[in-house]
Amino acid sequence: MYLGDNGRAPYGPRSADEVRRFTLEAVEWFLAQDVKLLVLACNTATARALDVVRERSSVPVVGVVRPGAVAAASATRSAIVAVIATAGTVESDAYPAAIAEAAPGTRVAQLACPELVPMVEAGILDGRRAESVLRAYLEPLLGGTPGIDTLLLGCTHYPLLRPVIEAIVGERVAVVDSAFTTALAVEDLLDALAARAPRGAGASHRLATTGEVDAFVQVASRLFGERLPSVEAARIEPAGAIP
């Protein structure tokens, strides 16, 4: 099951309190669907709300920051990592903390890239416009911190720009994101809980959005292609007070 809070996205420019409230409301929606595990598949939501979600959730919760940090810590040889992310994720300092935990002594240079999420949502994934915007962010970042050999894509939208990013940064800089390592973390946790679906069980997918369904389908179809399941409209209720 996937829920996109497109009606209130992007989360990156929003205040920490708003992000926590919106994330809790989405979590309540999921819990009402009787899920067995939650993934906060948003770096800003993970950075701002993971702790409070874990306090309130009746099922295990996995965030995307730590898996991404582990991927970056494993990839770097110079112990100097660059992170591009939303303003909210950068302000939280979640990635420097998580990378330092995974690989003490690693230096982290961060940069907020507010133009990237709207650009991806608009379907601008390559071409002159995408390259121009990305160069304006990446060249000063990499040039201003000598020795960077790893670039962490600290937003789940950014991997859609990965081919252009890799062309700009070149072969000497490894580009990593949290998607693969988050999937492994989910797999390991399901095994630890003996909670995997039985072998041979039919798999089905549900996609829901709080925004306009047609607009969501346009974006999601780039990922799923012809395999895109039908998309439903979701209505989430206001959460209670957040401590």
* Structural domains of the chain ordered from first start: 2-64+186-233 (3.40.50.1860), 65-180 (3.40.50.1860)
* Marked catalytic residue, from 40, 98, 141, 155: 155
Active-site hit among 3, 26, 40, 42: 42
pLDDT in tens, 91-137: 999 999 999 999 999 999 999 999 999 998 888 999 999 999 999 99
The whole-model pTM stands at 0.88
pLDDT band at 142 (very low <50, low <70, confident <90, very high): very high
**Over 60: is that where the pLDDT of 192 sits?**
yes
Would residue 123 be called left, alpha or beta, if left means φ above 0 and alpha means ψ between -120 and 50 degrees?
left
**What's the pLDDT tens digit per position in 37-92?**
999 999 999 999 999 999 999 999 999 999 999 999 999 999 999 999 999 999 99
Of 8, 46, 64, 11, the C-alpha closest to 176 is: 64
**Catalytic site includes residue 113:** no
Q: Would you say residue 189 has pLDDT above 70?
A: yes
| Neighbour count for residue 213 (Cβ, 10 Å) | 17
Using an 8 Å Cβ cutoff, are 212 and 234 in contact?
no
